[in-house]
Amino acid sequence: MSRTLRKGMSDAIVVLVLVLVAVALTLSVSLIGFSLFRNYGAQNIIAVRGEPSIVSQGGKYILNLTLQNQGTTTILIESVSIGANVVNTTVFSLPGGSIQTLHIYLNVGYLPSNTDIQVAIKTSSQLEPVFYTYAVVS
């Protein structure tokens, strides 16, 4: 009788190694996915409440704007602009879950009454860094 000498790993060890590699790959992919999407999901969304208005007061224009932070962390309103040249860079802080009315002074010469003017609001949110609304001049 001849004896066959078998060299290599047994089937049980091969299966064990394959299971360990599969578990390690699954954990790596899930860790990468959760770390990427955790930051995206934690971003805040800001909503405009009511109708923004621009009023003339003593020769100056004031934009009255009510914003709601629908997220859980504080977001910054970095600038508010109307048109291409009128920008107010006063930074406003909007805590998570809060609603605040902002009174923003605009350095502009003349705005015609009863017109809608586009307002661009720049935020610190990566989800929606700039959003637009319209304000009525009264």
- pTM to 2 decimals? 0.65
pLDDT at residue 5 greater than cutoff 70? no
Q: What is the pLDDT of residue 90?
A: 85
User: Is there a contact between 69 and 77 (Cβ–Cβ < 8 Å)?
Assistant: no
At 29-39, the pLDDT tens digits run 888 877 766 55
User: Is there a contact between 86 and 108 (Cβ–Cβ < 8 Å)?
Assistant: yes
Whole-number Å distance between alpha carbons of 103 and 92: 10
Q: What is the pLDDT of residue 126?
A: 73
Which amino acid would we find at residue 126? Q
